Each structure stands twice: as structure tokens, then as C-alpha cells.
């Protein structure tokens, strides 16, 4: 497994290359908008809530969440999103925060492959298709990409 890091970094680089076009897409999905406003409100008020956020001025959200609470998840994603919101980066570049989950999934598959190769005393290298094909599969997963 001497080429482990080389293969993993090459696959991660390929995955990032596939994601680059997403920097130019408009991000108007409900979750993206909600997390953006949650993060902006968290920075402005130091409270992890959407209460008082300008998101309620958007008709879609006003109609949808008028009579029920907006679910707020643990702050891992907004914490990664925070530098983009805090330094007024263009919101569509904030999509890079979601890339982290996909890159960690690739890394997890690589670690599992490495573990299985070592655990079963296989004499495979990281250059073997048995190792890099699952990595390529997760790197090109259309849902994650």
C-alpha cells in the first residue's frame, strides 16, 4: 500500500475537478437558502436560530413555515459555511462547504479498503483495481457530485 496516499489524493483531486462547474450554478434550493440565512443570523445575533431572520420575508418560506417551526440541525454544516457568510463571499462559492462531506466519504471508502487489505493479508497495492475502483465509484457518484 505504498501508493495509498497518491491514489487517494488523485481520486479526490478528480472529484474536485468534477465539482468545479457547481461554482457557477445558482443555489436556490430550500435547504441551501435556509442554511445560508441560518448561518448569517448566527453571525449577526450569536444565536443559533432562524428567529428574526430575513428568510421570513421570502414568500416561499413565509408560506411554508408560517405555522410550524423550521428544523435546525446541529451546527456542523453552518460552522463550515460560516467563513463564507462571515466574509461576504459570493453565496454560490459556499457550495464548497458541501464538498467536504463527499471528500470525507471518499476518504472513508479508502480507509475501509486499506483496512480490508491489511486485515486479510492481501498482497494488493493501491494501484490494484480492487482498491481504486470503489474509490472511483464514490468519487463519481452523481448524487454526491
pLDDT tens sequence across 85-94: 888 766 667 8
Whole-number pLDDT of residue 105: 93
Whole-number pLDDT of residue 71: 61
Nearest-angstrom CA–CA distance, 99 and 102: 5
Whole-number pLDDT of residue 70: 61
Whole-number pLDDT of residue 30: 72
Ranges of residues in the chain whose predicted pLDDT is under 50: none
This prediction's pTM: 0.74
Q: Where are the beta strands (DSSP E) in 49-133?
A: none
Contact predicate 139/12, CB 8 Å? yes
Whole-number pLDDT of residue 1: 65
The cell numbers describing 8, all together, are: 487517494
Nearest-angstrom CA–CA distance, 1 and 27: 40
Whole-number pLDDT of residue 108: 94
Whole-number pLDDT of residue 23: 83
Whole-number pLDDT of residue 66: 57
Q: Give residue for cell 496516499.
A: 5
Nearest-angstrom CA–CA distance, 40 and 140: 32
Instruction: Please list, in sequence order, all residues whose beta carbon lies within 8 angstroms of the beta carbon of residue 19, skipping any fewer than 6 positions away.
Output: 95, 99, 102, 145
- Could you tell me the end-to-end alpha-carbon distance of the chain, in angstroms, rounded to an integer? 27
Amino acid at each position: 500500500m505504498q501508493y495509498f496516499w497518491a491514489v487517494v489524493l488523485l481520486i479526490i483531486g478528480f472529484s474536485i475537478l468534477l465539482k468545479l462547474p457547481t461554482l457557477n450554478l445558482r443555489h436556490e434550493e430550500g435547504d441551501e437558502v435556509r442554511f445560508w440565512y441560518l448561518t448569517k443570523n448566527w453571525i449577526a445575533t450569536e444565536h443559533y436560530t432562524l428567529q428574526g431572520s430575513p428568510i421570513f420575508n421570502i414568500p416561499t418560506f413565509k408560506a411554508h413555515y408560517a405555522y410550524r417551526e423550521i428544523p435546525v440541525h446541529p451546527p456542523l454544516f453552518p460552522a463550515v459555511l460560516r467563513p463564507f457568510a462571515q466574509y461576504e463571499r459570493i453565496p454560490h462559492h459556499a457550495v464548497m462547504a458541501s464538498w467536504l462531506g463527499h471528500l470525507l466519504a471518499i476518504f472513508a471508502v479508502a480507509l475501509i479498503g486499506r483496512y480490508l487489505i491489511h486485515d486479510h493479508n492481501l498482497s494488493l497495492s493501491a494501484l490494484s483495481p480492487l482498491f481504486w475502483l470503489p474509490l472511483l465509484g464514490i468519487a463519481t457518484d452523481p448524487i454526491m457530485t
